[in-house]
Structure 1
Amino acid sequence: MIKQLWTGLIAVFLFSSSGFAQGIIENDHPFTLQECIKLGLKHNTDIKKAQLDESAADFQRKEITGSGMPQINAYGNYNNFLDVFPQAIPGGVLNPESDPNGVDVISFGVPQSIKAGFQINQLLFSQSYLVGLKAVQSSEEFYRLLTQKTEEDIIYDISLNYYGVIATQLQLNNLQANHDKLSRLEKIIKAQYENDLARKVDHNRVKVNLTTLETQMDNLEIVIEQRTNYLKLVMGLPVDVDLELAPYDFNDQNLPVRSLAANAQLSDRYDLQVLDKQLELNALNIKNIQSGYYPTLSAFADLNYNAFSREFDFISDSHVWYRGSLVGLKLSLPIFDGFQKKNKIAQARVKSEKLKQDQFMTEQAARAEYLNARKKLGNSLKSLHAQESNLDLSEDVFDQTEKLYKEGLAPLTDLLDAETALREARSAFYNQIINVKTAQADLYKSTGNIEKIYQP
């Protein structure tokens, strides 16, 4: 009975977990690249963490802003002097009978006292506070840029992994098409062999090729599963979710030729904008350190009630409470700190110089990335046209060779060679299509416009 109960609980848990995971995907049709990217932007954990950093920056801004608002505190303390502190006064001051040249020791105060009140502090002027307000605003923009950069990286990663799965599926489709042709050929040769019209060796050679294709197809199915699972991880989906990708549309002739004619706008890259914001934040940090040379002025007020007694009877209604209150100003003027701020400013300026060096190298790397991506895309488009022509030629050769073989005018070797050449040509064509798409993604990313890859 207990075993059946545990089995039922495990089954319910697995069913609910599967239902929850599958509920993430609302579509019931194969996913396009655009749909994968939108889903990834919604569920990717790196993006969620970047958004949490944005929220933390917003809370930090509110925290610093709150430090300039009135600070109100309630306090209370209770003292029980087991021995009242003695005080020494000149002799004869309070007791005429004492020696005027001596010292009288008396106890001022009572054994027990209690005090409760409120304190209010208000910052009136602080240069560091004013600089801090500017810094937190820039910090919010900094984390917003980091989120956008993370989204850009995720779009790029999803695109490349999507194309990787599609490329493998195309290779599998290519092998399947050739497998179908060889299967039909194998049936024909088998019938011819059974009627003594073909040699057994020819039939065996075709069967060997079929077995080889089947093994390659099995291996590609494993690769598709592995790449699809990794795509799910990049998208932020549980690996047990069923994710089916839409097949590549060969009627889509929207090749990224216009991308080659567009001028590079490297200022749109988020990595460069992040470095600019880091320089701005470091400049504000220098100003914040320099603000330590400015005076700080604040106002304060205190309202309290005090009670004194020889015994603990403060809860008595007849007990007398004495009110005390004060207001005042507090001015803090720094004079000398052992050159600490001077050296902190020097360190911050060194950091700015390092950031400028990083900025220069990043700009050069971005420029090189753009030039390489543009060259890659141009060459990929040129190779695509060549592979397309080669594929058409291979298909014609195979069709003609097949007809000649059926008519007994061509040996089986020519037909198998034509089949191999067709398979390789189609594989090269499929690979080149993916190369064009990945080159397009590289070009968009190099200019900071990777979102164009999934926009209609």
Structure 2
Amino acid sequence: MKKIFILFFFGLGLSYQAHSQEIVELTLEEALNFTLENNIDVKNAQLETLIAKATIKETTASGLPQITGNFDLNYNPSIPVVFLPNQPPFGDPSIPGDVIPARFGVSFQSSLGVNVRQMIFDGSFFVGLQAAKTYRELTDLDKIKTENDAIEAVKKAYFGVLVNQERIRLAEANLSRIDTLLAETRALNEAGFAEKVDVSRIQVQRNNTYSQLERSRTALEISQQILKLQMGLPMEYDVVLSETLAELNPIEEINALLLEEGMERVEVSQLNTNLELVKLDLKNNQSQYMPTIDFVANGIRSGAGNAFNTVYDKQNWFGSSLLGVSMQIPIFDGLLKSARIQQNRVQLQQLENQRFFLKESIKNEVFTAKSNLRNELNILRVQRENLDLAREVYDIAKIKYQEGVGSNLEVVEADAALIEAEINYLSALYDGLVSKVDLEKALGILKNDLMN
């Protein structure tokens, strides 16, 4: 009984079991949506945003009360000796020598206390809190950049699969056409109306076409694996694409894209955020010239005893406490902060230069991408015309050969030209789609195009 394959959309709400290997049928939009949920780099970028959120909490925590408790239990096997002068009026004539050894302490000591420290003023804290929030913004931008890169890679991989599928379809059609011609020529040869060399010539063409078909099948398998890897789809699944190259290449959309001015690229936003972080680092280093003020408090109860069972007797325990304000004033650090401030100012100049160059590079990238896309459209139009002409030439050559007024060589050459025209047309179609993706990236609308 023929195995039944049930199509399903993995990861987007539709799943089921198939009797054999499971298949995922995808449109380009579905492939991109799946990628944004399952691509490993995108997942890691999303996790990085969670780390940034935790960093904000960590920074905020340093400005909240810091409370610690402590407990000590000490045993002195040998109580330290303190030496006192053996002189009147405290001297002891019975002790020889000019000093008196005395032991101060007990065998067991214990304490239990609580320490509280609350920051009152610290310029670095407020700058650090702002920097943590800015860092979170940077991780959000990094996530968008990672998503854009994944979208670009998946689009190109998706188009690669479609091109190889179309190459296989054309190669199979070519092989069928040549097989028919080969069978007709063999019959003519057997009937004495064609030479053996005519059969051999077509057989060579048939072998070349078969080899091209096998290469296309291998290329299709490789391109499917690349697509699954870019999407984050497990390798044990098969993908079936439900769109064609022509459907993804509407001329109206491309003409509209050529008129787009685009939007600010995420790379510019990333650089602006890095600039803000360096400014905050500069502000932080400058703020360290200011004093820091903390409120401190502690309470402790201590007890002692010469025997362990008397250490925790109530009468042996006494309490103490402290309330105060601690201020630390920086006086001289060997010009450390000054050197850091100089570094920050140079870093700001570097980032300003990078921002200027990036904006100019983006302008050049947009110009280049639009020029390439226009050129690819012209090439596609020419290759389409060549394909139509090659088909017309082949049809005429075959009719002439069948009617006895043309040569076998002419048919074989026309067939080879037709195959070449088909390959060139598919390449032009693929290059046009890739150029379209490059332009979307240059304009900064890869993600925006998907969301719309």
TM value normalised by structure 1:
0.87
Inter-CA distance 72–253: structure 2 relative to 1 (3 Å threshold): closer
In the alignment, does 2:62 pair up with 1:74?
A: no
Tell me which amino acid in the other structure corresponds to 2:257. Answer: S
Q: In structure 1, what is the Cα distance between the partners aligned to 2:270 and 2:116? A: 40
Structure 1 residue 160, shift from structure 2 partner: 1.6
Q: In structure 2, what is the Cα distance between the partners aligned to 1:411 and 1:80? A: 113
Structure 1 residue 23, shift from structure 2 partner: 6.2
The match for 1:35 is: 30
In the alignment, does 2:150 pair up with 1:154?
A: yes
Q: Spell out, residue by residue over 1:191-217, the C-alpha distance to the aligned partner (whole angstroms, 9 max, x if none).
A: 223333332222222122111111121
Deviation larger for 190-199 or 102-111: 102-111
In the alignment, does 2:283 pair up with 1:280?
A: no
In the alignment, does 2:253 pair up with 1:258?
A: no
Q: In structure 1, what is the Cα distance between the partners aligned to 2:235 and 2:153? A: 17
Q: In structure 2, which of residues 426, 429, 436 is the aligned counterpart of residue 430 of structure 1?
A: 426
In the alignment, does 2:291 pair up with 1:300?
A: no
In the alignment, does 2:175 pair up with 1:179?
A: yes
Deviation larger for 227-236 or 324-333: 227-236
Tell me which amino acid in the other structure corresponds to 2:116. Answer: I
**3-state SS of paired residue (2:239):** coil
Q: In structure 2, what is the Cα distance between the partners aligned to 1:318 and 1:342? A: 56
Inter-CA distance 392–320: structure 2 relative to 1 (3 Å threshold): same
Q: In structure 2, what is the Cα distance between the partners aligned to 1:149 and 1:238? A: 24
Inter-CA distance 339–400: structure 2 relative to 1 (3 Å threshold): same
Inter-CA distance 359–92: structure 2 relative to 1 (3 Å threshold): farther
Q: In structure 2, which of residues 232, 241, 244 is the aligned counterpart of residue 236 of structure 1?
A: 232
Structure 1 residue 317, shift from structure 2 partner: 5.3
The match for 1:192 is: 188
Q: In structure 2, what is the Cα distance between the partners aligned to 1:388 and 1:314? A: 102
Structure 1 residue 318, shift from structure 2 partner: 5.3
Q: In structure 2, what is the Cα distance between the partners aligned to 1:88 and 1:444? A: 90
8 A contact 1:139–1:281 mirrored in 2: yes
In the alignment, does 2:208 pair up with 1:212?
A: yes
Tell me which amino acid in the other structure corresponds to 1:146. Answer: D
The match for 2:343 is: 347
Q: In structure 1, what is the Cα distance between the partners aligned to 2:367 and 2:403? A: 54
Tell me which amino acid in the other structure corresponds to 1:79. Answer: N
8 A contact 1:84–1:110 mirrored in 2: no
**3-state SS of paired residue (2:391):** helix
Q: In structure 2, which of residues 396, 401, 404 is the aligned counterpart of residue 405 of structure 1?
A: 401
Q: Spell out, residue by residue over 1:350-377, the C-alpha distance to the aligned partner (whole angstroms, 9 max, x if none).
A: 2222222222222222221111001001
Q: In structure 2, which of residues 427, 435, 445 is the aligned counterpart of residue 449 of structure 1?
A: 445
Q: Spell out, residue by residue over 1:199-239, the C-alpha distance to the aligned partner (whole angstroms, 9 max, x if none).
A: 22222221221111111211221222222222222222333
**3-state SS of paired residue (2:240):** coil
Tell me which amino acid in the other structure corresponds to 2:33. Answer: K
For residues 82-97 of structure 1, what are the structure 2 equivalents within 5 Å?
Answer: 82-86=78-82, 88=84
Structure 1 residue 117, shift from structure 2 partner: 1.2
Q: In structure 1, what is the Cα distance between the partners aligned to 2:59 and 2:322? A: 27
In the alignment, does 2:126 pair up with 1:130?
A: yes
Q: In structure 1, what is the Cα distance between the partners aligned to 2:451 and 2:297? A: 61
In the alignment, does 2:49 pair up with 1:54?
A: yes
Inter-CA distance 454–176: structure 2 relative to 1 (3 Å threshold): farther
Structure 1 residue 39, shift from structure 2 partner: 1.8
Structure 1 residue 434, shift from structure 2 partner: 1.1
The match for 2:370 is: 374
Structure 1 residue 260, shift from structure 2 partner: 0.9
Inter-CA distance 399–251: structure 2 relative to 1 (3 Å threshold): farther
Deviation larger for 315-324 or 148-157: 315-324
Q: In structure 2, what is the Cα distance between the partners aligned to 1:314 and 1:183? A: 108
Tell me which amino acid in the other structure corresponds to 1:450. Answer: L
Q: In structure 2, what is the Cα distance between the partners aligned to 1:93 and 1:236? A: 91
8 A contact 1:307–1:314 mirrored in 2: no
Inter-CA distance 405–283: structure 2 relative to 1 (3 Å threshold): same
8 A contact 2:383–2:428 mirrored in 1: yes
Q: Spell out, residue by residue over 1:130-176, the C-alpha distance to the aligned partner (whole angstroms, 9 max, x if none).
A: 10110000000011101110111111111122222222222222222
Q: In structure 1, what is the Cα distance between the partners aligned to 2:24 and 2:357? A: 45
Structure 1 residue 107, shift from structure 2 partner: 4.0
Q: Spell out, residue by residue over 1:291-317, the C-alpha distance to the aligned partner (whole angstroms, 9 max, x if none).
A: 111111111211221112122124655
Q: Spell out, residue by residue over 1:261-292, the C-alpha distance to the aligned partner (whole angstroms, 9 max, x if none).
A: 12243x2x111111111111011001111111
Tell me which amino acid in the other structure corresponds to 2:130. Answer: K
Q: In structure 2, what is the Cα distance between the partners aligned to 1:236 and 1:143? A: 21
Q: Which runs of 5+ in 1 are unaligned?
A: 1-21
Q: In structure 2, what is the Cα distance between the partners aligned to 1:42 and 1:240? A: 18
Structure 1 residue 390, shift from structure 2 partner: 2.0
Q: In structure 2, what is the Cα distance between the partners aligned to 1:250 and 1:329? A: 76
8 A contact 2:303–2:311 mirrored in 1: no
Q: In structure 2, what is the Cα distance between the partners aligned to 1:92 and 1:347? A: 68
Structure 1 residue 79, shift from structure 2 partner: 2.8
8 A contact 2:147–2:447 mirrored in 1: no
Tell me which amino acid in the other structure corresponds to 2:53. Answer: D
Inter-CA distance 294–389: structure 2 relative to 1 (3 Å threshold): same
Deviation larger for 410-419 or 248-257: 248-257
The match for 1:10 is: none
Q: In structure 2, what is the Cα distance between the partners aligned to 1:111 and 1:360? A: 74
The match for 1:6 is: none
Q: In structure 1, what is the Cα distance between the partners aligned to 2:368 and 2:294? A: 59
**3-state SS of paired residue (2:316):** coil
Q: Spell out, residue by residue over 1:106-141, the C-alpha distance to the aligned partner (whole angstroms, 9 max, x if none).
A: 444433221111111111111000101100000000
Deviation larger for 149-158 or 221-230: 221-230
Q: In structure 2, what is the Cα distance between the partners aligned to 1:422 and 1:454? A: 37
Number of residue pairs the alignment of both structures matches: 431
Q: In structure 2, which of residues 380, 402, 405 is the aligned counterpart of residue 384 of structure 1?
A: 380
8 A contact 1:54–1:143 mirrored in 2: yes
